[in-house]
Amino acid sequence: MENKQLKTSWLKKYATVPQSLERMKEVKSVATAFNTNVDAVLKISGKKIAELAQKLGLGLKELEDIKHTKLETPQDVLKGLFKCFKSGIAEEWLTEDKTVYDWMVSNLGYDRLQMGGQGGIVANALAVTGAQKVYAHTNSLPKLQAQQFLELENLMSFDENGAEKPAYKINREEDTALIHWILEFDKGDSVNINGQTFTCPKSNRFIATYDPLNLHLVMDKHFVKQISNQKIDYIVLSGYHALTENNSGTKLVAESLPIIKQWKANGDLIHLEIASTQDIAVRKAIINKIAPEVDSVGVNEREAIDILEITDQEELAKKCNEDTHSINMFDALLKIKKTLKTPRIQLHMFGLYITIQDKKYKITPEANLRGMMLAATVAAGKAGTGSINDAKNLLWAQGKEVSDVGLKELKDLAEHINQPQMLETGIGEIDGFDVIALPTILVEKPVTLVGMGDTISSISLIGAR
């Protein structure tokens, strides 16, 4: 079948997406945990960088004198920002120092605020798709954080007394907002320091983060108690990636296990979004302790490679690093599936989503395909419009064709596992597992890609109805 015919065939399949979205209203309850924060986005100029450096008494010698990548003083904020600006690179530096936080509040400001953290982003996305009740975990919920939740009556959290309320209406006044400053700069902009001019070679961003609670996996006791005492249809877990061994990361992972086991005992279907975990000890703890307890795992290409690297699959990890096409990434996903023994695992890569799941899994392959098509449509709507805060944007991409890239990746995969029908049906099997693969809708010039993977994974699973 030619590409034109295949696109027509897949367009007919995608025509069921509005019905899948409507069925999201049948979902009685979802909970998202653990990381929620405020992203403060600021476009910063070279001129502003120079002004701040002068204000702090920093010349070129001081700016380039970097002894650590932590924000221990306001001067460190400028050092990290200048480093990223002059090299056109992206880095994130952290602080737990309230003095540094207060300086950033007073001196940086922001152009806009938006929801940050996988837990918060997913909660907003699931609420707007129509799930009857979405509970969002928040270890800090002052007014500034509450304002990042959509003004929806089905999106809930808990006040300081444990009372359940719409999240946007809560103001825990004693809490301090957890802010991640996303300082964006433009290619071609220049900064002048001590008479020398440095021109930014590539548009990028420096992230200055104050988030002591998520860095220590601090949990809201009211959320944990309320969610543990009822049946929740789905729970989406994330936030472990922020932990480090220096901050007792592996211990914190282990301490969360009894809570997860309680939720699972309630009959909740639990999904874990792996996320990019830099600390290897924490990454191993997530894979060895959390992943075996959940019903579903979500990864992108980089996260899949990260897992290979800590499960004695260095050669396959190297192959995937060198070429992240569907054949190598499928081999990686299958190896991870067999290693983790998680009932379901999903990979979202450029142009293609792949799910491998146990036979007789709680959700059929056909339902999984419907959920993945809904997720692909919503993701394209988010990329194309910049936001799915408004329900009208959820189906913005409805009626658009799947990408040539996705079809090529699917064709290669179908041939690789000798399942030719997958090019038309998206469903096959290998080694006793069901395989579902979907060519996706790609937006040529996306307005945003923030939180895209988390949105894809959660809607793929929960939209599989």
- Per residue in 187-213, pLDDT (tens digit) is 999 999 999 999 999 999 999 999 999
- Per residue in 331-368, pLDDT (tens digit) is 999 999 999 999 999 999 999 999 999 999 999 999 99
What tokens appear for 161 in the block?
């007394």
Q: Are 116 and 180 in contact (CB under 8 A)?
A: yes
Domains of the chain: 3-27+233-462 (3.40.1190.20), 39-115+176-210 (3.30.1110.20)
Report CA dihedral (314, 316, 317, 321) to the nearest 10 degrees. Answer: 140
- Sequence-distant (6+) residues with CB within 8 A of 168 are 146, 147, 149, 150, 151, 152, 155
Amino acid of residue 371: G
Q: Are 193 and 53 in contact (CB under 8 A)?
A: yes
Query: Given this model, what pLDDT does residue 3 score?
Result: 87
Query: Given this model, what pLDDT does residue 407 score?
Result: 97
- The DSSP code for 287 is I
Distance from C-alpha of 39 to C-alpha of 248, rounded to nearest angstrom: 25
pLDDT class for 248, splitting at 50, 70, 90? very high
Give the pLDDT mean for 401-430. 97
What tokens appear for 54 in the block?
């002068």
- Per residue in 83-137, pLDDT (tens digit) is 999 999 999 999 999 999 999 999 999 999 999 999 999 999 999 999 999 999 9
Give 127: exposed, middle or buried? Use CB within 10 Å, 0-12, 13-18, 19+: buried
The position carrying tokens 């944990």 is: 224
Q: ∠ CA 432-435-440 to the nearest 5 degrees?
A: 175
Which segments of 27-175 does DSSP mark as H helices, in order? 46-55, 60-63, 74-87, 98-107, 118-128, 143-146
pLDDT class for 252, splitting at 50, 70, 90? very high
Give the pLDDT mean for 316-345. 96
Rounded mean pLDDT of the chain? Answer: 96
Distance from C-alpha of 346 to C-alpha of 355, rounded to nearest angstrom: 4
| pTM, 2 dp | 0.93
pLDDT class for 420, splitting at 50, 70, 90? very high
Give the pLDDT mean for 443-451. 86
